[in-house]
Amino acid sequence: MPDRNPAPLAGLKVVDLSKILAGPYVTMSLADLGADVIKVEHPDGGDPTRSWGPPFNGPDATYYLAANRSKRSVTLDLKSPPGRDAVHRMLAGADVMVENFRPGSTLARLFDHKELSARYPRLVILHISAFGDTGPLRDEPGYDMVAQASAGLMSLTGEPDGPPVKAGYAMGDLGAALFGLVGVNAALVERERTGHGQYVTTSLYESQLALHINWATGYFATGERPTRLGSGHPSLVPYQAYPAADGHFVIAVGNDVLFRRLATALGHPQWADDPRFATNRDRVAHRAALNAKLAAVLVDEPVARWTALLAPLGVPVAAIRTLDEVYACPQTAALGMVQEVDHPVAGPLKQVAFPVSFRGERPPVRGAPPTLGQQSRAVLAELGYGEEEIDRLLSAAPDDPHPQGA
């Protein structure tokens, strides 16, 4: 009996020629949504993140394991004619191709998007780059740290009197991945209407600018360069982390009613009538003075005391959890965000699942991240290669020692 509720992208075929994080995160998300994703890797080591450790779990670094589940790995030298022929056989039946070839590289020329679109008119091609397809920086290489620095995120992150700080997550890569995922799905919807695929592009740089949101509009309105505020908010006060007797916690006051509740609960109702603090506009203007008063009170009691006092009053408040606390949290368990799959070498492997539910159900993690070339023979056989041809393809020595995309 057919599945009454197939995964949203069941039946979609994806060829993943990308590496590192942004592209692989897009294709892992497509796999989570039901697509059949073939990850093509260079025979000499595969995706570089396989060696980005410690920590390792089995033969691969946990960095690789975080962004490649539910795919099938095939090893091919894309700079060799036989390797390219195999990829073209894949593309002939594919819906989506994802790549992050460096502009001007050999592989960018060998897999030119104009030629591919002419040859496979229904194919949706996603290209992720560091700085975009045009402009003076288009040919520059880039990693997440470079994107965070060049696109302004690090200038906004960190304490006012400290150095610029990288965000804890890889926001350059992940921002591009999420916008790339949106672009792919939008192109697939349009293909249903027109019958034609298209070339979709995004970059780490563009994605970071899109995520500036209020920082950008504030700058456009005032012309003033924003400065680092630590955990503070440029437009709301109090809205940041505060020190308690045993650590830090956050208070997030979004309006004047909540501020009055906070002030009253802390034993200082007069703060809500102080002309420096009565409205949010006033509190932003007198940020330092108010934060000094709050810190002097809050430091005397532990985090648990303040959260127990303020939460029942509707004042947004939270302890700052570490990851071990997050994954032990009943809310995390209730959402089913951590799932387990069997890895062929590492054994049971926990994964953070896709964060969107459909019909009230979260898409299951369907498979472990593949070992290098784990499905090479099976995929090549599906493409019509005979056993001897497969042997020749898989035994051919790479003609370039560098990872593909270099």
Task: Name the catalytic one among 32, 77, 95, 173.
Answer: 173
The number of residues making up the chain comes to 406
Active site residue 173: yes
CA dihedral 304, 306, 312, 315 (to 10 degrees): -130
CB 126 within 8 A of CB 198: no
SS3 for the chain is CCCCCCCCCCCCEEEECCCCCHHHHHHHHHHHCCCEEEEEECCCCCCHHHHCCCCEECCEEHHHHCCCCCEEEEECCCCCHHHHHHHHHHHHCCCEEEECCCCCCHHHHHCCHHHHHHHCCCCEEEEEECCCCCCCCCCCCCCHHHHHHHCCCHHHCCCCCCCCCCCCCCHHHHHHHHHHHHHHHHHHHHHHHHCCCCEEEEEHHHHHHHCCCHHHHHHHHHCCCCCCCCCCCCCCCCEEEEEECCEEEEEECCCHHHHHHHHHHCCCHHHHHCCCCCCHHHHHHCHHHHHHHHHHHHCCCCHHHHHHHHHHHCCCEEECCCHHHHHCCHHHHHHCCEEEEEECCCEEEEEECCCCCECCECCCCCCCCCCCCCCHHHHHHHCCCCHHHHHHHHHCCCCCCCCCCC
Supply the residues annotated as catalytic.
Answer: 173
